[in-house]
């Protein structure tokens, strides 16, 4: 073979390699955080009964953001220590951040039951809105600013993926013990100099160790998970909750901060243990899809509260609300979301749509439609409470159809 034909062949091999990998770019990641702790407590605490005024702060509540880009597509994942945020609010926040398409901003809430009310359901009584509007406005500004900061902080980075299993006596399903997703999925961003700047932990469990008699603002067990992990060099930890609905809750001896610490540290230790075996990538072709659609608003109690202005989630003339789901693929990991509190069986069904080794299910993502029930839970008296606290108890088949299409579009 002549030198020139060898050269031509090498060029065509190189061109082939280019076409097959052209879309994979070097990864860039940025992380940022800000406190959402009110300057002056006094807000109504959300999650349990009404009429719980905050009397102080035990530990801060946060917004934490991780921006991930491949040179072409950038997504931002946000984790807030809040009970939830409605879709109009998450889209307002996403739309106010320059430099990233609003659709690519994924806003989740840990569903903590010891933070200020930002939905409206936990005021002095059932019929009175519990939101401190100035606080909610501050929350929106601060989340948006933090997303902007995470984008500004992006730098060349690698992503590490890991898996772990929740240890005994952490989260458990108090309705049907065997129905639970014990998986802890972990994604860690590491800069070129080998320093971890952020670690996303995805695990399903209500942050509700502190109960209805507590009057202190706290991130609950999530605070201690971060306290356990961050001193070991994980960078900022983001907890994204999973399929915690009906009813995955901490298994505790008493509703005390000591028990919140035990649960949070045990989960943090498990995540750290998982990180001892990781798969690392430095480039990827990020696949991302958001499906936005209308869903029937089918809950007379919540409709009445919307009419009274207790919650700001007014259905359209057709009695629908807009909501959305996302799916993403980054190297050996897949991500998918639902806009509320998926029961474990529903979350596991979403994970079942994904074929990747590392699977992340984001609950309370971009919306809080209440409980998302699987078919057998619909007429089961065990789930009476969940049926009453769902914007549409029959929503899951439509949501599954939407999330399945989104997952397929990013495969």
Can you give the binding site for Zn ion, defined by CB under 5 A? Answer: 341
CB 219 within 8 A of CB 208: no
Give the tokens for residue 114: 């010891």
CB 118 within 8 A of CB 132: no
CB 178 within 8 A of CB 161: no
Q: How far is the CB of 14 from Zn ion (least distance, A)?
A: 54
Give the tokens for residue 132: 């401190």
**Which residue number, 191 or 249, has a Cβ lying nearer to Zn ion?**
249
CB 356 within 8 A of CB 368: no
Q: What is the distance of C-alpha 342 from the center of its chain?
A: 12
- DSSP run (H or E) holding 27: none
CB 324 within 8 A of CB 398: no
Q: Give every CB contact of residue 107 below 8 A, 6+ residues apart in sequence.
A: 78, 80, 85, 90, 93, 94, 143, 365, 366
**Which residue number, 181 or 341, has a Cβ lying nearer to Zn ion?**
341
Q: Is the peptide bond before 247 cis (omega within 30 degrees of 0)?
A: yes
Q: Are strands 283-284 and 25-26 parallel, antiparallel or unpaired?
A: antiparallel
**Which residue number, 183 or 341, has a Cβ lying nearer to Zn ion?**
341
Return the residue matching tokens 């008699």. Answer: 213
Q: Give every CB contact of residue 137 below 8 A, 6+ residues apart in sequence.
A: none
């Amino acid at each position: 073979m002549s030198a020139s034909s060898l050269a031509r062949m090498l060029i065509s091999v190189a061109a082939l390699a280019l076409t097959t990998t052209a879309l994979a770019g070097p990864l860039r990641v940025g992380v940022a955080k800000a406190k959402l702790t009110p300057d002056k407590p006094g807000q109504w605490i959300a999650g349990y009964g009404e009429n719980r005024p905050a009397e102080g702060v035990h530990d801060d509540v946060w917004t934490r953001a991780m921006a991930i880009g491949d040179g072409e597509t950038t997504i931002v994942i946000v984790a807030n220590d809040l009970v939830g945020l409605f879709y109009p609010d998450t889209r307002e926040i996403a739309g106010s951040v320059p430099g990233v398409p609003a659709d690519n901003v994924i806003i989740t809430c840990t569903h903590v039951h010891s933070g200020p009310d930002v939905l409206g359901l936990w005021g002095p009584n059932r019929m009175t809105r519990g939101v401190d509007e100035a606080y909610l406005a501050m929350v929106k500004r601060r989340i948006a600013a933090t997303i902007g900061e995470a984008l500004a902080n992006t730098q060349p980075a690698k992503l590490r993926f890991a898996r772990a299993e929740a240890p005994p006596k952490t989260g458990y399903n108090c309705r049907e013990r065997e129905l639970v997703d014990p998986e802890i999925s972990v994604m860690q961003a590491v800069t070129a100099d080998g320093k971890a700047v952020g670690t996303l932990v995805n695990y399903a469990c209500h942050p509700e160790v502190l109960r209805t008699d507590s009057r202190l603002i706290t991130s609950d067990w999530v605070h201690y998970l971060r306290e356990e992990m961050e001193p070991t060099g994980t960078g900022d930890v983001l907890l994204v909750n999973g399929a915690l609905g009906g009813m995955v809750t901490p298994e505790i001896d008493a509703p005390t901060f000591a028990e919140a610490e035990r649960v949070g540290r045990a989960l943090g230790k498990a995540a750290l243990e998982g990180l001892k075996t990781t798969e690392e990538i430095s480039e990827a072709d990020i696949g991302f899809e958001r499906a936005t659609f209308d869903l029937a608003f089918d809950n007379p109690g919540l409709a009445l509260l919307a009419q009274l202005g207790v919650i700001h989630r007014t259905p359209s003339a057709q009695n629908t609300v807009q909501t959305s789901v996302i799916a993403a693929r980054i190297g050996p990991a897949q991500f998918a979301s639902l806009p509320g509190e998926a029961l474990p069986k529903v979350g596991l069904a979403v994970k079942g749509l994904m074929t990747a080794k590392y699977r992340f299910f984001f609950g309370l993502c971009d919306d809080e439609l209440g409980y998302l029930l699987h078919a057998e839970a619909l007429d089961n008296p065990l789930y009476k409470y969940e049926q009453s606290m769902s914007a549409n108890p029959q929503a899951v088949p439509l949501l599954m159809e939407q999330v399945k299409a989104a997952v397929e579009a990013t495969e």
